[in-house]
Chains A and B, each alone.
Chain A
Amino acid sequence: MVDLNAKYDQFRAKGLGVAIVSYDSVAILKNFGDRKGIRIPMLSDPESKIIRAFGILNENIDKTSPVYGIPFPGTYILDTKGVVKSKYFHDDYTERFSAGSVLTREFGATGLESTKVDTPHVTLSYTASDASFAPGRRLTLILDVDFKPKMHVYAPGIESGYIPIDWTMTKAKGWEALAAEYPASHKVHLPVIDETVPVYDKHIRITRDIIVGQAAEVGPSLAPDRTLTVEGTFRYQACDDKECYVPRSIPLQWKFKVGEMETERVPAEMRRRP
């Protein structure tokens, strides 16, 4: 909620209202909101009426538990008539889409600084949906490739013999990378090789989500200042209308700040879960 609150103005600037629903009492929400400076309306649904009406009550929980009544966590983007335009749920509910990832998926821009790498063939600019987040978040890495005039590369899926672009991530503990999402390529007939092949040129954006583990999982991967370093490689072979150049591998590196888990709670007498 603190992550989302930090991006509240960015969602509002895009014309979206934002609201949060939980099974907490008004008193709990007021206490939490005052402590954390939350400006987003947080709705109290103590009998889980809204949660049930949406059909997302977590019924794996024993009915006698103080935890019973919570939803499967997730996010809906609704149009002005209340129709679902998109939704963000995860098969593991401990892993939530970050507010920045939703913002990136809905609207593209992140507003965060990019790292730029210039080669004779392409300019890479890469960034991420979030600079800082809590453990257990799913965020989005963004890689923009701008091709120099006449330059193109082969798209993944091309027959062997050609080297397609390839974005790999370094294996690491504490976070996992999902598959890269490449845009659609277009087929071009190349007179030099007299073949029609799938290529990218001009500009492409490739994205890939990473899931950062729970506090105990990601903890050992953090530097003392809680920086998480995530690394990968972008490999390409560029060609122009005359020749193909030697393949290149460009190291990529992202640095994030991973926050501490919230441990502060409302006063004992207010708590629903002891």
Chain B
Amino acid sequence: MRPLLTLALLAFLAAAQETDRPRLHPLNPANANLKTGPAVGAKVPDFNAPDQNGKAQTLASLRGPKGLMLVFTRSADW
């Protein structure tokens, strides 16, 4: 556990130094190793998952004529 924590802290410090700007609060260690997924220009993986009405949705069923805005969020409950 300890080496992992140290690694996380180091990554956190590296991330904190990346952007040189004033901050409202120090970066929380929970922000360490931030991953942002597929790069610009890359194709994202397709999926099949139910929406709030139980309807199965895929990239194709969700997209509009110009594409799709896909938002990942923490939780609708907390």
Min CB–CB distance B37 → chain A (angstroms): 4
In angstroms, Cα B19 to Cα A84, docked, is 24
Q: In the complex the two chains form, is B68's CB within 8 Å of A17's CB?
A: yes
Q: List 8 A-B contacts (CB under 8 A).
A: A17-B67, A22-B72, A49-B49, A50-B49, A60-B8, A81-B43, A83-B44, A84-B38
Q: In the complex the two chains form, is A54's CB within 8 Å of B69's CB?
A: no
In angstroms, Cα B57 to Cα A28, docked, is 17
Which positions in A face B, CB cutoff 8 Å?
1, 4, 11-12, 14-24, 26, 28-30, 32-33, 38, 41-45, 49-51, 53-61, 70-87, 89, 91-94, 102, 174-176, 178-179, 211, 213-214, 217, 265-266, 270-273
Which positions in B face A, CB cutoff 8 Å?
8, 15, 18-19, 21-25, 27-47, 49-55, 57, 59, 62-78
Min CB–CB distance A220 → chain B (angstroms): 12
Chain A residues contacting B75 (CB-CB under 8 Å) are: 22-24, 28, 70, 272-273
Task: Choose among A19, A56, A59 the residue with the greatest number of B CB atoms under 10 Å from its CB.
Answer: A19
Chain A residues contacting B40 (CB-CB under 8 Å) are: 84-87
Q: In the complex the two chains form, is A59's CB within 8 Å of B33's CB?
A: yes
Q: In the complex the two chains form, is B49's CB within 8 Å of A24's CB?
A: no
Q: In the complex the two chains form, is B67's CB within 8 Å of A15's CB?
A: yes
* Given A56-B35, A60-B8, A81-B43, A19 and B71 contact (CB-CB distance below 8 Å): yes
